[in-house]
Amino acid sequence: MSEFRIHHDVNELLSLLRVHGGEGAEVYIDLLQKNRTPYVTTTVSAHSAKVKIAEFSRTPEDFLKKYDELKSKNTRNLDPLVYLLSKLTEDKETLQYLQQNARERAELAAAAAASSTTSLSAPAPAARISLQELEELRKQLGSVAAGSTWQQSLELTRKMLRDKQNKKNSGQRLPVFPAWVYERPTLVGDFLTGSGFSADAAVPVGSLPLASQEAAIVEDLLYVLVGVDGRYITAQPLTGRQSRTFLVDPNLDLSIRELVNRILPVASSYSTVTRFIEEKSSFEYGQVNQALAAAMRTLVKEHLILVSQLEQLQRQGLLSLPKLWFYVQPALRTVDILASLATSVDKGECVGGATLSLLHDRSFNYTGDSQAQELCLYLTKAASVPYFEILEKWIYRGIINDPYSEFMVEEHELRKEKIQEDYNDRYWDQRYTVVQRQIPSFLQKMAGKVLSTGKYLNVVRECGHDVTCPVAKEVIYTLKERAYVEQIEKAFNYASKVLLDFLMEEQELVAHLRSIKRYFLMDQGDFFVHFMDLTEEELKKPVDDITPTRLEALLELALRMSTANTDPFKDDLKIDLMPHDLITQLLRVLAIETKQEKAMVQADPTELSLSGLEAFSFDYVVKWPLSLIINRKALTRYQMLFRHMFYCKHVERQLCSVWLSNKAAKQHALHSAKWFASAFTLRQRMLNFVQNIQYYMMFEVMEPTWHILEKNLKSASNIDDVLGHHTSFLDTCLKDCMLTNPELLKVFSKLMSVCVMFTNCMQRFAQSMSLDDELGRRALEHVLGPPPEAERAGERARKHLAEHGDAPQLASSFEATVSKFDKNFSAHLLDLLARLSLYSTSDCEHSMASVISRLDFNGFYTERLERLSAERSQKAAPQVPVPRGPPAPAPRVAVTAQ
């Protein structure tokens, strides 16, 4: 059972039990995951469990009756359920809770029923029914009684099956029997109640001598054994799927009647089998049931031959009643087994694989009875022929031809083009699915490989290649499951090799993945330098003002000017301007298939106008069948990684440009422009942070994980392994790059925002200073002596502050502004380090510990964290007056870049 199925089942159980609060579902999910085993543990003996529940139950007879009924229907997982219930009877705490929960649910149901009944107007108890109302009621009851007849119920069942099959095979009309087949009851071969020979019985049987009674009853029995009423033995009408009963003349001699009652079960079983054959021979019940009915018809012919031989003896006067009983005894067991199988198939409404499961289980149950087991094996082999024909076509050619929905694999109408459009498209998982009810019990262990084998071949067929398994052999039913396992294993190995070679060699899957890594994971350094140089001005605009065609042209130019020109798949790279920022995209992805999904989809893309840098992303054109691996879900994950790193690269370039522009400020003396020192220090700390984060993501997360992926792809044996390795690679990258945790990502984005705002402020200040220098130089051409350096610096600062006093983060002076940036950056960075430390220890995310060691290599931030925690603890503790001393100066440590 997958992790997602465990999540769903636990949440569903808690919802049904109305459990709210407490420890939550995660505790139970972790407990189940720790205790699950790779072995099949559902094969249990239910006998002792059944006895224990019967002893515990207040109505053991009802429980045992219900158990036998479900067992006769061949209900799946019945024994494991009974075993679980028996274990629950031993847990008093769980029983007490379930009883309380049942009482609460009963009270809620009673309250709901009371509220609904109060709104209905009940007739007065003393009201009389008029003759007209009585006549209408009689008509209604008559129509209900007529509609519940046996033939009408069969016709309704056939119509439902026919509608379901026609809906599935919309382009192909399935054959049906003409109506007269069902309208002529004499064609069935079963008893016609009310039209026998009883009306011609002029002589009462009690008035005949014993020998004449025996001769008359033998003749009647020969008729009854082939489904025709006799003079003194008549069949009773049926009211449902019950066994046929007979009415024997009560005046018959007691000894003769005793032998007659022993022989009549043969006629009853024959009637059941005949009705089953006629019903299941219809097209609507599927090919497996038709094959089973045909095999039973062959055995019924043997029975009719026996009766004809007995009739020949009777005409010769050589057949007495004891002789008839002697000759019929061997057939009694055979017809009884056939009737039992027919009744079980009817009760369970078995079709296709469910019918084969029932027959196979019966064959195993008759292990000690060689005759009965041989009979069941004969029926199972005959019934499995059409099923195995569908199986062979599926595992040897990848074609499914199942017009009556009998096969274990079901096909759904899905378009493979959607795999490139819809993030949540599940083409690979849902185009072909396993129908648990239609899995024969002897193929249960191989159901997964049967599904995968046909899927692999079907993908190759849809690419225009006709494939046929060279090791194809006819599949024949046998009790030795090893025969099926070997044939399916060979077909699976061939299909895996064909599809894997097709994707790896002909479609060049690894080369496409390397091409995607080159662009989305920023593996191509010179390409990004060219591209960001070309598009820097364009991407600074609001996203609504950007022309996508211009970006496409600049992308093409950057590809041609860099070493990416040698990439054969460079033309598949496209520009994509996203409607929302990275955090919103992450939250939308995390909300898929949750209660918040509808709200996230209907929400506005973003409240703020995005810049081109925030909305920019790459897209990649992937064609079938590579879209199975590189689907929209995978491309979205690549886009999230790219947007994360691309913005980091942009911030690094901005900080480096600030470093270049600040070189001009070094000509001023520090004692006259003290605020430059703090600005340079803060810029260097920001650059150190951004560069170390990029180094961590590229060289400690992506590169090692990529090498693991390449190694795993070389050893992959089938396409499911490739899908699993690729998904694991992306999940690991997203998790270690802090993209699966919205809290970490929000803190990180705040840090990036502080860095960008700081660089904008510094660039505006540098531009103002350069403009002032130019104006001052021209003005000094008419002055004899230059003014002092300190006066010029102070004048430039005053002009800058006067011109940019309305900037978002600017305070009353430049030094105060830098101090505010420093405070915000340090607070957010300390918050990030604290969260990283928590996740690396509590959630065992050890890879994040390296980020802490790189960002805090000299313990500078550790001291701040300790000081901050001490201050918080002092605030939380009760205040005690202490003598105050002079404040100690706060240490300032400059962090240098590595």
Instruction: Work out the average pLDDT over 591-612.
Output: 52
Using CA atoms, how far apart are residues 116 and 131, in angstroms rounded to an integer? 31
pLDDT above 80 (res 538): yes
Q: How many CB atoms lie within 10 A of CB 334?
A: 18
In DSSP terms, 248 is beta-bridged to 233
Mean pLDDT of 123-152: 51
Each residue's pLDDT tens digit, 722-774: 888 998 999 888 888 888 877 888 888 888 888 888 888 777 776 665 555 55
State the Cα–Cα distance between residues 830 and 868, nearest whole angstrom: 9
Q: How far apart are CA 36 and CA 878, in angstroms?
A: 50
Predicted local distance difference test score (pLDDT) of residue 433: 87
CA pair distance 90, 87, nearest whole angstrom: 5
More confident residue, 175 or 317: 317
Judge if pTM exceeds 0.95: no
Q: Which helix (H) or strand (E) element contains residue 233?
A: strand 233-235
pLDDT of residue 387: 92
CA 285 to CA 291: how far, in whole Å? 10
Q: Which 3-state string (H, E, C) describes 515-564?
A: HHHHHHCCCCHHHHHHHHHHHHHHHCCEHHHCCHHHHHHHHHHHHHHCHH
* Residue 307: burial class (beta carbons within 10 Å; 0-12, 13-18, 19+): buried
Helix then strand then coil, in percent of the chain rounded to 5, is 70, 5, 30
Question: Do residues 407 and 352 touch, judged by C-beta distance below 8 A?
Answer: yes
The model's pLDDT over 574-599, given as tens digits with 9 standing for 90+, comes to 888 887 777 777 776 665 544 444 44
Q: How far is CA 278 from the centre of its chain?
A: 41
Residue 625, preceding bond cis, omega within 30 degrees?
A: yes
Tokens of 677: 């020192």
Residue with the larger pLDDT of the pair 173 and 657:
657
Q: What is the DSSP letter of 231?
A: S
- Which tokens in the block code for residue 584? 């919103």
Q: CB-side exposure of 584: number of CA atoms within 13 Å?
A: 17
Type of residue at 770: S
Listed range (103-107, 860-864, 873-877) with the worst mean pLDDT: 873-877
3-state secondary structure of 364: helix
Residue whose C-alpha is closest to residue 225's, from 111, 302, 120: 302
- Angle at which helices 210-224 and 286-315 pack, to 10 degrees? 160
SS3 577: strand
The mean pLDDT value for 603-620 works out to 69
Tell me the C-alpha distance between 619 and 608, whole Å: 24
148: left (phi over 0), alpha (psi -120 to 50) or beta: alpha
* CB-based contact 548:512 (threshold 8 Å): no
Assigned token pair, 275: 């009705």
pLDDT digits (tens, 9 = 90+) for 452-463: 888 888 888 888
Give the chain's length. Answer: 898
Give dist(CA 495, CA 422) in Å, integer.
28
Confidence of residue 666 (pLDDT cuts 50, 70, 90): low
Question: Distance between CA 149 and CA 156 in Å, rounded?
Answer: 11
Nearest to 534 by CA among 518, 556, 564: 556
Q: State the pLDDT at residue 124.
A: 42
How far is 546 from 359, CA to CA, in rounded Å? 69
Looking at residue 51, its pLDDT comes to: 79
Query: Residue 707: is its pLDDT beyond 90?
Result: yes
**Cα 136 from Cα 325, distance rounded (Å):** 53
pLDDT digits (tens, 9 = 90+) for 759-772: 887 777 766 655 55
The dihedral built from the CA positions of residue 484, 486, 491 and 497, taken in this order, carries a sign that is positive
If we measure between CA atoms, which residue out of 892, 831, 411 comes closest to residue 682? 892
Render the burial of 758-797: b for 16+ CB within 10 Å, e for the rest: bbebbeebbebbeebeeeeeeeeeeeeeeeeeeebbeebb
Pairing of strands 616-620, 246-248: unpaired
Contact 594, 432 (CB under 8 A): no
Q: Quickly list H helices, 662-741.
A: 675-695, 703-715, 719-736
For 69-88, write each residue's pLDDT tens digit.
777 666 767 777 878 788 77
For 794, the enclosing helix (H) or strand (E) is: helix 789-803
Longest pairwise C-alpha distance within the chain: 160
| Residues 278-287, mean pLDDT to the nearest whole number | 83
Instruction: Give the range with max mean pLDDT: 87-96, 178-187, 224-233.
Output: 224-233
**492-523: per-residue pLDDT in tens?**
889 888 888 888 888 888 999 998 888 888 88
Helix or strand holding residue 620 (H, E)? strand 616-620
| pLDDT, mean of residues 33-57 | 66
CA–CA separation, 677 vs 666, rounded Å?
Answer: 10
Identify whether the C-beta of residue 422 lies closer than 8 Å to the C-beta of residue 439. Answer: no
What's the rounded mean pLDDT across residues 840-864?
Answer: 65
pLDDT of residue 591: 54
DSSP reduced 3-state for 796:
helix
Q: Is 369 helix (H, G, I), strand (E, B) or coil?
A: coil
Instruction: Using the predicted structure, report yes or no on whether residue 142 has a pLDDT greater than 50.
Output: no
- In this structure, how many other beta carbons lie within 10 angstroms of the beta carbon of residue 326? 10
Cα distances (Å, whole numbers) of residue 452 to 449, 492, 669 = 5, 7, 75
pLDDT category of residue 797 using cuts at 50, 70 and 90:
very low
- What percent of the chain has a predicted confidence (pLDDT) above 90? 7
Quote the CA–CA distance of 484 and 472 in Å, as a whole number. 12
**Whole-number mean pLDDT of the chain?**
75
Phi and psi at 573, nearest 5°, equal -80, 130
Structure-token pair, residue 890:
């706060």
Using pLDDT thresholds of 50, 70 and 90, give the confidence band for residue 418.
Answer: low
- Whether the predicted pLDDT of 490 surpasses 60: yes
Token readout for 70 is 């479900």
Does residue 144 have a pLDDT over 70? no
Cβ proximity of 486 and 417 under 8 Å: no
Cα-Cα-Cα-Cα torsion 620, 423, 430, 393, nearest 10 degrees, comes to -10
What Cα–Cα distance (Å) separates residue 57 from each residue in 62, 85, 419?
9, 11, 53
Sequence-ordered list of residues with C-beta below 8 angstroms from that of 163, at least 6 positions apart, any chain: none
pLDDT, tens digit, 9 for 90 and up, residues 165-221: 666 666 566 677 777 666 676 677 777 765 444 445 447 777 778 888 888 888 988
Mean pLDDT comparison of 13-17, 50-54, 229-233, 579-583, highest-scoring range: 229-233
